[in-house]
């Protein structure tokens, strides 16, 4: 199992090191005060939409099998979102903190970590399952996050159906998803030059997002906000993978399906969630701290889960 341990470390640790580099660059004055807000806008409005558009455009939805897998993965993700939001609302009265807590606890960084991890573990079988998750679960992540963060934003505006639906319709990530699905359904082929141009924009998403996240991080002590971030991180990397995996087993899934559900639940909180939290008005300290902690914790938890899946012969 040493190879599994090294794989998990080599997958997760670089993300954390780039995040740390952003923090050091900001602390040493190499990055100015204007870098973080400008960089976050670039990630949210350009880099992430480009990355997600190209990923979705490359997914042939019509050829994907096993709709039961897609239905369970989408359903359990949606239920985790609703459950965490409802339970957390009893304990967290600060709405921006509640928004960041809930999003950080349920939304995983599948595009940048879960997908390559699943493909590495399961090969072609993992690629098929990863494509299903990208096609169905990732859009649910984005829609739920916009609804949540808009409802919890500290703007002083009255929350109506319009105030929730309008940000969803204008969200660049959701627009990218629907554009990509539309192109695939219509059978339209984009010129190679355009695909490469979009690819250049998408390639900077992970690195720039991590640099901005690290540069914007701060430690305010072990206060209530840090405790909330700590609890949300544990929910993300320990509670959800157990719930997703056991739930899938009870519904009759086996083999690589279970491995996919565990990875979907156990990957660290999504980098895109931080950019969303900043732009929509949630608590960016809690959002950023959840990503940092869950990324650090997942280096160990994902290794343990992969080891247990192998030991109990859940995976081939």
Q: Is residue 245 part of a domain?
A: yes
Least confident of 111-125, 179-193, 244-258: 111-125
Backbone φ and ψ of 158, nearest 5°: -70, 130
pLDDT of residue 63: 55
What pLDDT score does 1 carry?
56
- Split into its structural domains, the chain has a count of 1
The answer to whether residue 166 is domain-embedded is yes
211 assigned to some structural domain: yes
Q: What is the pLDDT of residues 62-87, one digit of tens each?
A: 554 578 999 999 999 999 999 999 99
Q: Is 146 within the bounds of a domain?
A: yes
Q: Is residue 316 part of a domain?
A: no
Q: How far, in Å, CA of 126 to CA of 136, rounded?
A: 15
More confident residue, 47 or 4: 47
| Residue 133 falls inside a structural domain | yes
Could you read off the pLDDT of 189-210 as tens digits, one per residue? 889 998 999 989 888 877 887 7
Mean pLDDT confidence for 244-267? 93
Nearest to 107 by CA among 256, 259, 275, 220: 275
Taking the C-alpha atoms of residue 33 and residue 75, their distance in angstroms, rounded to an integer, is 41
Specify which of 13-22, 200-209, 214-223, 254-263 reaches the highest per-range mean pLDDT. Answer: 254-263
- 283 within a domain of the structure (yes/no): yes
Looking at residue 157, its pLDDT comes to 56
Write down the pLDDT at residue 146.
82
pLDDT at 20: 86
**DSSP per-residue string spanning 129-147:** HHHHHHHHHHHHHHHHHHH
226: CATH: 1.20.1530.20
Domain extent for 242: 2-311
């Amino acid at each position: 199992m040493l190879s599994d341990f090294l794989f998990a470390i080599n997958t997760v640790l670089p993300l954390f090191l780039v995040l740390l580099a952003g923090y050091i660059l900001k602390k040493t004055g190499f990055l100015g005060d204007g870098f973080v807000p400008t960089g976050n806008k670039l990630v949210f409005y350009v880099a992430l939409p480009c990355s997600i558009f190209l990923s979705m455009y490359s997914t042939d939805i019509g050829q994907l099998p096993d709709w039961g897998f897609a239905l369970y993965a989408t359903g359990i993700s949606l239920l985790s979102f609703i459950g965490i939001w409802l339970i957390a609302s009893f304990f967290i009265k600060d709405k921006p903190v509640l928004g960041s807590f809930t999003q950080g606890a349920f939304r995983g960084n599948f595009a940048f970590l879960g997908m390559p991890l699943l493909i590495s573990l399961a090969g072609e079988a993992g690629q098929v399952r990863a494509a299903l998750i990208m096609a169905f679960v990732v859009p649910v992540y984005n829609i739920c996050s916009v609804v949540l963060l808009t409802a919890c934003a500290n703007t002083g505006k009255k929350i109506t159906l319009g105030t929730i639906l309008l940000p969803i319709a204008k969200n660049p990530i959701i627009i990218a998803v629907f554009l990509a699905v539309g192109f695939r359904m219509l059978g339209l082929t984009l010129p190679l030059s355009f695909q490469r141009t979009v690819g250049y924009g998408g390639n900077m998403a992970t690195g720039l997002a991590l640099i901005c996240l690290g540069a914007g991080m701060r430690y305010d002590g072990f206060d209530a906000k840090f405790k909330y971030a700590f609890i949300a991180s544990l929910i993300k990397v320990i509670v959800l993978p157990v719930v997703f995996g056991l739930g899938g087993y009870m519904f009759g899934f086996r083999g690589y399906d279970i491995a996919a559900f565990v990875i979907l639940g156990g990957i660290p909180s999504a980098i895109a969630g931080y950019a969303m939290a900043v732009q929509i008005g949630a608590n960016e300290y809690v959002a950023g701290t959840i990503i940092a902690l869950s990324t650090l914790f997942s280096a160990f938890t994902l290794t343990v889960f992969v080891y247990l899946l192998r030991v109990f012969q859940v995976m081939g």
